[in-house]
Amino acid sequence: MSVDAKDGYLEVPGARLRFRDAGSGPAVVLLHGWTLRLEMWDPQAAALGQEFRVVRFDRRGFGLSTGKASVIDDAADVAALCSHLGIRRAALVGMSQGSRVAVLTAMSEPALIRSLILDGPSPGIVDPTAPDPDLPLAQFRLLAQTEGIDVFRRAWAQHPMTRLRNPDADAGALLDGMLSGYGGDDLLQPVEAPAPTASSPVFGAIAQPTLVICGAFDVPSRRNAATVIAQKLPAAELFQVPDAGHLANLDNPPAYNAALLRFLRRHAVISAD
């Protein structure tokens, strides 16, 4: 599989989604994090594509997808894209903000989602009422609104959640390109209703095999959320990516990809129907 798979586009209510679909085998759908886009998964697309059908898309409001950013609508978009591509069962990988989308999709479409991988999961999954001490969204909103998106981008590029620990020219260039292309429209939108909590009966009903993954040097709120979620889900396991921060898939692709492949070989292959 080539990471240079051609872009496809799908019209959904309120948005036009850019996606890439390549490889063959059991389907794996990849959901990017905040301010990023589908290219964040280039190192994983290359590794997984030897055994799996890899689908990734720009979530609405990010990258080249149109529409208003919304994790609630993202969950419906996952189902719509799978239907469009003829995918009846899939493993779902959600990174950071994308982990909230993964959880919502697993709850709303349990027959579609065979297994889950939650990477650097949002603390909002555990407690949507508690502020995230490592991601000051209110400050970032104010910064973007009063000083402009370029000032926000510079500040965000220096944040611990976006700094790479390992100096790799290709990964750095990929990240810089994604951050420079972030338009910031969602920072001007009203705050969205939170996702259900890990202690709610609905969330507790998630029975899919789940891998919770985070960088060993991720920010504390994300490491703590990963631990709690892995404890609360009925069929979950936890893996820390060594020598990696929040962007573990770019910091340490060999270890990250190996963890995904081990899990997917056990829990995705039987979903190819």
The pTM score is 0.94
Which residues neighbour 151 within 8 Å (Cβ) at sequence distance 6 or greater? 143, 144
Please report, rounded to a whole number, the percentage of residues in the chain having pLDDT higher than 90: 83
Dihedral pair phi/psi, residue 120, rounded to 5°: 50, 50
Q: Look up the CATH number of the domain holding residue 267.
A: 3.40.50.1820
CA angle at 2 for the pair 178 and 102, rounded to the nearest 5°: 55
Q: Which two tokens stand for residue 185?
A: 């429209």
Which residues neighbour 2 within 8 Å (Cβ) at sequence distance 6 or greater? 22, 46, 49
Q: What pLDDT does 197 receive?
A: 62
Count structural domains, the chain: 1
Summarize pLDDT for 225-255 with one digit per residue, the tens: 999 999 999 999 999 999 999 999 999 999 9
Query: Is 175 within the bounds of a domain?
Result: no
- Identify which of 233, 196, 163 has the alpha carbon closest to the alpha carbon of residue 72: 196
Residue 44 to residue 54: CA distance in whole angstroms:
9
Q: Is the pLDDT of residue 116 over 80?
A: yes
How far from each other are the two terminal CA atoms of the chain, in whole angstroms? 21
Q: Is the pLDDT of residue 65 over 90?
A: yes
The torsion region of residue 197 among left (phi > 0), alpha (psi -120 to 50) and beta comes to beta
Q: What pLDDT does 130 receive?
A: 80
Q: What pLDDT does 88 receive?
A: 96
The string over 208-229, giving b where at least 16 C-beta atoms fall within 10 Å of a residue's C-beta and e elsewhere, is bbbbbbbbbbbbebbbbbbbbb
Q: What pLDDT does 5 receive?
A: 74
Mean of pLDDT values over 170-191: 92
Band of residue 198 on the pLDDT scale cut at 50, 70, 90: low
Sheet holding 113-119, edge to edge: 8-12, 15-22, 53-57, 27-31, 90-95, 113-119, 210-215, 236-241
User: What is the chain's length?
Assistant: 273
Query: Is 156 within the bounds of a domain?
Result: no
Q: What pLDDT does 4 receive?
A: 53
Residue 87 to residue 272: CA distance in whole angstroms:
9
Query: Is 245 within the bounds of a domain?
Result: yes
Mean pLDDT of the chain: 92
Query: Is 149 within the bounds of a domain?
Result: no
Give Rg (Cα) of the chain.
17
Query: Is 153 within the bounds of a domain?
Result: no
Query: Is 234 within the bounds of a domain?
Result: yes
Summarize pLDDT for 4-31 with one digit per residue, the tens: 578 999 999 999 999 999 999 999 999 9
Question: By CB neighbour count within 10 A (0-12 exposed, 13-18 middle, 19+ buried), where does 128 fall?
Answer: middle
Residue 221: domain span: 8-131+191-271
Query: Is 48 within the bounds of a domain?
Result: yes
Query: Is 105 within the bounds of a domain?
Result: yes
